[in-house]
A and B are shown apart, each in its own frame.
Chain A
Amino acid sequence: MKLTRRMTLAAFAGMLALGTAAPAYAADLIAIITPSHDNPFFKAEAVGAEAKAKELGYEALVLVHDDDANKQSELIDTAIGRGAKAIILDNAGADATVAAVQKAKDAGVPSFLIDREINATGVAVAQIVSNNYQGAQLGAQEFVKLMGEKGNFVELVGKESDTNAGIRSKGYHDVIDDYPDLKMVAQQSANWSQTEAYSKMESILQANPDIKGVISGNDTMAMGAYAALAAANRKDVIVVGFDGSNDVRDSITSGGIKATVLQPAFAQAQMAVEQANDFIKNKTSPAKEKQLMDCVLVNGDNAPKLETFALTN
């Protein structure tokens, strides 16, 4: 509270000094809250949002909630307390987050959600999410093609509390289940984790040595699975991931993992900051709260163009 006042005063003083009202003061703050940066995807979001915020003349407060809804609630309190003008949020749970975002709204701080949806509308100003379902269908279509429409496969699923884990799995199956000669012999969650995917893949492979492919809910799990397959001398197994990380790009170009699906994480975070900026300066909201961004298939053809969750031309 004290800090807010001090910042307001500083801004006011700056305004007086300049004699004109600048569109944004250096002191205006945007809070950027995401899951842990251990996953390069979330790091790219934070980096993209921070860069755009600074470009537009804001100060950025970058925080991580580690997928813990309680921690997220505390961070939102921090953002409110620090007098943030907007919150850019990749949230910690579709249901648990609704109250936290409502709390910010009640305190006059608008939220702009990226990557993950919440199960309510009218609380956040914007929800900009990747079209995970469309992306999963792209990945699954490529997987089906690589598998020659037949054979045994394994699915690695993401963290259950994250809506995207379910959406991707559904998208995969909506395509794959149309092919009766493709048989899923194991389906396990590795919680988005590379190390967990490695150990799960090891034991799945022991029980099912006759597998031909692995479709994974994200890239970190795909990396873990491929490492386990390589260690077991089974580089012949087709692996497809989701996210479009640089790690998987390198694996694709060196003939390891076969494909992934790029989520435009960097662009999405920047778009959220631009919408926040419009809202702060002009009080304009985006035409639609829920905005879908399409994903792009990445395979051997375009992998070299991939860099930090964006394709170059």
Chain B
Amino acid sequence: MFDKLTWPILAVTVAIAVTGCKILPTASGETGGSAAAFNPDKKVEEIWAAKVVPYLQQKAGPFPEVHAQAKTDPAAAGAKYGNPNKQANSPWTFAVRLEGKVVAENTQSRAATMDVDVDGDGKADARVQIGPAVRGTALRDSLDFVQFNDFTNQIDFAQFGKAFNAYADKSVLSKLPREALAGRSVKVLGAYTLASGQDLPLVTPAEVEIGLKP
């Protein structure tokens, strides 16, 4: 029964998949689409260096450019810097490259962040997450080869999103310095989601370089 349903979907996915796209396995169906067959952490580990980072490197635009377009024409910016086939009702997410100076840090919270001045006016333009708690699903949502319809249900899709954050924390963020960040130069490759009610665009990094203390 399940196979009968799955095969046509896979066939369609294969037919429309562009070269290099990855077909994600759908978890085989116990009640609630048990996640037993789907290992999101392993999946992310497999594609991170091979696909995710190269994708972001290729797709990301400089933050001032991306953010300017995101404010005037988010759909065009989303198509250019993100996943044009996202869910219709979800906000746009953009792959972005950020270079600037840390002007403030919040390392009291476990969802630690640093505020970065990009245009040199001394004021923060973006907030970069440095973990260990990482919010949102920006990394997942920036990828044009990840679609909700390829997953059994929301749980698998959500765990996949979380797995990106966990991997970023484990492989990148946990190795960053956490003290006296203000004043240091910083380079980030990551993604952010255009959301209302945010003080600053919240960037989830896939790569970060922090300069030495000034």
A binds B: yes
Interface size on B, residues (CB 8 A): 32
B29 near A290: Cβ-Cβ < 8 Å? no
From 277 to 298 in chain A, residues with beta carbon under 8 angstroms from any chain B beta carbon are: 288-294, 297
B154 near A119: Cβ-Cβ < 8 Å? no
Bound Cα distance A134, B159 (Å)? 11
From 105 to 144 in chain B, residues with beta carbon under 8 angstroms from any chain A beta carbon are: 109-111, 132-133, 135-137
Kindly report which residue of chain A lies nearest to residue B26, judged by CB atoms. Answer: A121
Kindly report which residue of chain B lies nearest to residue A179, judged by CB atoms. Answer: B110
Does any Cβ of A come within 8 Å of B87's Cβ? yes
Bound Cα distance A163, B33 (Å)? 9
B148 near A167: Cβ-Cβ < 8 Å? no
Chain A at the B interface: SS class:
mixed
Segment from B41-49, B88-96, B171-179, B182-190 that makes contact with A = B88-96
A175 near B135: Cβ-Cβ < 8 Å? yes
**B197 neighbours in A (Cβ, 8 Å):** 297, 301
From known contacts A119-B32, A163-B32, A294-B89, infer whether A137 and B153 are also in contact, taking CB-CB under 8 Å.
no
**B32 neighbours in A (Cβ, 8 Å):** 94, 119, 163, 166
**A195 neighbours in B (Cβ, 8 Å):** none
A294 near B135: Cβ-Cβ < 8 Å? no
A290 near B89: Cβ-Cβ < 8 Å? no
Does any Cβ of B come within 8 Å of A242's Cβ? no
Does any Cβ of B come within 8 Å of A149's Cβ? yes
**B89 neighbours in A (Cβ, 8 Å):** 291-294
**A301 neighbours in B (Cβ, 8 Å):** 197
Does any Cβ of B come within 8 Å of A141's Cβ? yes
Does any Cβ of B come within 8 Å of A37's Cβ? no
> Most chain-A CB neighbours within 10 Å: which of B32, B136, B159, B197?
B32
Bound Cα distance A120, B28 (Å)? 11
**A121 neighbours in B (Cβ, 8 Å):** 5, 9, 149
From 3 to 47 in chain A, residues with beta carbon under 8 angstroms from any chain B beta carbon are: none
Bound Cα distance A175, B165 (Å)? 11
Segment from A52-60, A125-133, A252-260 that makes contact with B = A125-133
B110 near A291: Cβ-Cβ < 8 Å? no
Set A132, A133, A149: member contacting B110, Cβ < 8 A: A149
**A134 neighbours in B (Cβ, 8 Å):** 137, 158
Does any Cβ of B come within 8 Å of A170's Cβ? yes
Does any Cβ of A come within 8 Å of B68's Cβ? no
Bound Cα distance A175, B158 (Å)? 12
Set B2, B90, B109, B111: member contacting A292, Cβ < 8 A: B90
Bound Cα distance A163, B148 (Å)? 17
Bound Cα distance A137, B165 (Å)? 14
From 152 to 200 in chain A, residues with beta carbon under 8 angstroms from any chain B beta carbon are: 163, 166-167, 170-171, 174-175, 178-179
Does any Cβ of A come within 8 Å of B152's Cβ? yes
A294 near B8: Cβ-Cβ < 8 Å? no
Does any Cβ of A come within 8 Å of B37's Cβ? no
B154 near A288: Cβ-Cβ < 8 Å? no
6 nearest CB pairs, A to B: A178-B133, A133-B158, A293-B89, A292-B87, A133-B154, A290-B149
- In the assembled complex, 25 residue pairs joining A and B whose CB atoms fall closer than 8 Å, in A order, are A94-B32, A95-B31, A117-B153, A119-B29, A120-B2, A121-B9, A122-B9, A129-B154, A132-B154, A133-B155, A141-B111, A144-B111, A163-B155, A166-B32, A166-B155, A167-B154, A167-B155, A174-B159, A288-B149, A290-B149, A291-B87, A292-B90, A292-B154, A294-B89, A294-B91
Instruction: Give 16 A-B pairs besides A119-B29, A167-B155 with Cβ atoms closer than 8 angstroms.
Output: A119-B152, A122-B5, A137-B136, A141-B111, A149-B109, A167-B153, A174-B159, A178-B110, A178-B111, A178-B133, A179-B133, A288-B149, A290-B149, A292-B90, A293-B87, A294-B89
